[in-house]
């Protein structure tokens, strides 16, 4: 049996309304280390739609970098990871 890390459910929104997304403590800690230097527990205690949206955008940008790097054989890392106007 493939044992997976426990998932954390977070809520954010886009132009269509609110939606849930799932993450692991490890992935969330990596984001916090890069952006805020706080612990997962502190983030979860004070999380908001806006904070969750920034995290969701970071996940998307990171995923796109990995995908682009696999397609082109490398990435220049020029993505800013800021607000994204695309529909999710």
What is the total residue count of the chain? 88
DSSP code, position 73: S
Domain ranges of the chain: 7-70
SS3 of residue 57 by DSSP: helix
pLDDT of 84 higher than 60: no
pTM of the model: 0.53
Name the residue among 63, 62, 56, 48 with its Cα closest to residue 83.
56
- Predicted confidence (pLDDT) per residue in 10-50, tens digit: 999 999 999 999 999 999 999 999 887 888 898 899 889 99
| Tokens describing residue 75 | 């990435």
Burial pattern 58-88, b for ≥16 Cβ within 10 A else e, equals bbbebeebeeeeeeeeeeeeeeebeeeeeee
């Amino acid at each position: 049996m493939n044992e997976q890390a426990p998932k954390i459910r977070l809520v954010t929104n886009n132009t269509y309304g609110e939606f849930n997304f799932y993450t692991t403590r490890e992935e969330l800690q990596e984001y916090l280390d890069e952006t805020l230097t706080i612990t997962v527990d502190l983030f979860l205690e004070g999380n908001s739609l806006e904070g969750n949206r920034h995290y969701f955008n970071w996940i998307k940008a990171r995923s796109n970098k990995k995908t682009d790097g696999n397609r082109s054989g490398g990435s220049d890392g020029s993505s800013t990871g800021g607000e994204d106007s695309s529909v999710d």
